Structure 1
Amino acid sequence: MPRVMPSEAANAEGAMTNDKGTCEVREMKSLFARLAATISELKANPNEVLNQANGEPVVILSHNKPRAYMVPVETFEQMQEQLEDYRLLLEARKRMDDESIPVTINELRAGIQEKSAQGVEQA
Structure 2
Amino acid sequence: MDVILAPSSVGISELKVNPNAVIEAAEGMPVAVLNRNKPVAYLLPAAAWEAICDRLEDIELKEVAEQRLADGKAAVEVRLDDL
TM class by shorter chain equals 0.7 to 0.9
4+ residue segments displaced more than 6 Å = 102-105
Show the 5 A alignment for 1:1-123: 28-101=1-74
Aligned length: 78
The answer (yes or no) to whether the contact 2:69–2:75 under 8 Å persists in 1 is no
Percent sequence identity over aligned pairs: 40
Alignment RMSD, CA only? 1.9
Structure-2 separation of matches of 1:62 and 1:33: 15
The structure whose RCO (Cα within 8 Å, separation 6+) is larger is 2
Greater radius of gyration (CA): 1
Structure-1 separation of matches of 2:75 and 2:55: 32
Partner AA of 2:6 in structure 1: A
Structure 1: tracts of 5 or more residues without a match: 1-27, 106-123
Deviation at 1:31, TM superposition (A): 2.3
